[in-house]
């Protein structure tokens, strides 16, 4: 009997070729998402991409319309204990303090300079925007990009003693690559500053500057010593968060996404907007439930609060990504998954 089965196996191998038998092996070797745990969330992503890219299928979407929008803070990289851009702004306040004696008595600058942790802990996106705005008025956009690049490649996160640019989520970086390999346009749509993000997102995520949507300060064109430059002003032109995320997507992309990923109530409107498109759509909501490898927080958090969006995700069948259960590793500096 064994011999006969062996003979059949050889016959099948001869007819279909050896790869037939190594299917599960070669599939694992070609897994586009090795840092994702097998399960419904990963399978949902694979099925969605297959449907969207299968010509003639009912879920087919032409490449030009394969728009995917990703929140950044808490979705593509960590955001604790402070939004990283807020940490950047704090460092800038300290660096610029000698030129601004008035900051000693002016909030939120006083709290920053005195290291008032209670006050710092309560800061939200608006304080971040105020700090960024105030600390960068007057520099050209090119100078600002240099300052950010300098910070991202030198400042280290206190918990991991790693560069901030290393605290990106390996499973999400894989997902961005996988989507681009399937002719998706990958966009970032974040409450973070557009100029801040552009200084590093191409290097860490492969996202070009023209695919970044974010909060923005005002700026103006002038001739400085006869040379045309763009100078950043103190005001805020746009905060890209909550209900203004779909507005930002419309302004920059001009199409409704077919895939959106976020991690907080700030992403709810973007996810709703994506869900209501005419064709297929995939909504991903990253749930920070892994205090050991990253952080665990949701509806009680002052940063990345996740409350309404989690309720709606469950009601509407969106994919809730458990960092603890769906990700085999969190950061790129951990050992690669095989």
Binding site for a copy of itself (CB under 8 A): 64, 141, 185, 194-195, 198, 208-210, 212, 216, 219-223, 227-228, 230, 243-247, 250-255, 269, 272-273, 275-276
**Lookup: tokens for 214:** 């974010």
- Smallest gap from residue 80 Cβ to a copy of itself (A): 28
Strand partners, 36: 327
- Smallest gap from residue 307 Cβ to a copy of itself (A): 18
- Smallest gap from residue 274 Cβ to a copy of itself (A): 9
Closer to a copy of itself by Cβ: residue 145 or 155: 145
- Smallest gap from residue 238 Cβ to a copy of itself (A): 8
- Smallest gap from residue 222 Cβ to a copy of itself (A): 8
- Report the C-alpha gap between 12 and 257 in whole angstroms: 45
Closer to a copy of itself by Cβ: residue 55 or 227: 227
Closer to a copy of itself by Cβ: residue 123 or 194: 194
Those residues with Cβ within 8 angstroms of residue 179's Cβ, 6 or more apart along the chain or in another chain: 49, 66, 68, 186, 259
- Smallest gap from residue 99 Cβ to a copy of itself (A): 26
- Report the C-alpha gap between 93 and 118 in whole angstroms: 18
- Smallest gap from residue 24 Cβ to a copy of itself (A): 38
The two beta strands, 319-322 and 162-163, are unpaired
C-alpha dihedral over 12, 18, 23, 26, to 10 degrees?
Answer: 180
Closer to a copy of itself by Cβ: residue 208 or 317: 208
Angle between helices 141-152 and 84-96 (to 10 degrees): 110
By CB atoms closer than 10 A (0-12, 13-18, 19+), residue 220 is: exposed
Residue listed under structure tokens 């989520």:
169
Cβ neighbours around 97 below 10 Å, total: 15
- Smallest gap from residue 11 Cβ to a copy of itself (A): 51
Cβ neighbours around 118 below 10 Å, total: 7
Closer to a copy of itself by Cβ: residue 64 or 118: 64
Closer to a copy of itself by Cβ: residue 157 or 180: 180
Closer to a copy of itself by Cβ: residue 89 or 194: 194
Closer to a copy of itself by Cβ: residue 86 or 249: 249
- Report the C-alpha gap between 42 and 121 in whole angstroms: 35
* 3 state DSSP class of 322: strand
Strand order in the sheet with 282-287: 227-238, 212-224, 185-193, 67-70, 259-262, 282-287, 319-322
């Amino acid at each position: 009997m064994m011999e006969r089965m062996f003979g059949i196996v050889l016959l099948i191998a001869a007819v279909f070729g050896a790869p037939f038998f190594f299917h599960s092996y070669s599939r694992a070797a070609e897994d586009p998402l090795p840092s994702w745990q097998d399960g419904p969330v990963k399978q949902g992503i694979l099925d969605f991409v297959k449907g969207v890219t299968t010509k003639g299928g009912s879920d087919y979407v032409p490449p030009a319309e394969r728009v995917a929008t990703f929140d950044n803070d808490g979705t593509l990289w960590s955001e604790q204990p402070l939004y990283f851009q807020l940490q950047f702004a704090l460092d800038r306040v300290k660096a610029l303090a000698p030129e601004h004696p008035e900051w000693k008595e002016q909030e939120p600058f006083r709290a920053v300079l005195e290291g008032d942790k209670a006050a710092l802990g309560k800061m939200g996106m608006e304080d971040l925007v105020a700090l960024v705005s105030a600390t960068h008025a007057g520099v050209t956009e090119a100078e600002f990009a240099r300052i950010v690049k300098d910070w991202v490649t030198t400042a280290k996160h206190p918990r991991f003693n790693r560069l901030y640019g290393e605290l990106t989520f390996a499973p999400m970086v894989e997902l961005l690559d996988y989507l681009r390999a399937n002719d998706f346009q990958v966009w970032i749509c974040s409450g973070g500053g557009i100029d801040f993000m552009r200084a590093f997102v191409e290097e860490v995520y492969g996202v070009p500057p023209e695919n970044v949507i974010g909060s923005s300060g005002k700026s103006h064109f002038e001739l400085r010593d006869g040379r045309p430059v763009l100078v950043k002003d103190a005001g805020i032109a746009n905060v890209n968060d909550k209900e203004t995320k779909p507005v930002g997507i419309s302004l920059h992309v001009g199409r409704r996404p077919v895939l959106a990923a976020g991690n907080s109530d700030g992403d709810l409107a973007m996810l709703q907007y994506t869900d209501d498109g005419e064709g297929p759509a995939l909504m991903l909501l990253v749930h920070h439930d892994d205090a050991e490898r990253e952080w665990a927080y949701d509806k009680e958090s002052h940063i990345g609060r996740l409350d309404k969006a989690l309720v709606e995700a469950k009601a509407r069948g969106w994919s809730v990504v458990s960092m603890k259960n769906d990700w085999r590793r969190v950061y790129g500096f951990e050992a690669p998954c095989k």
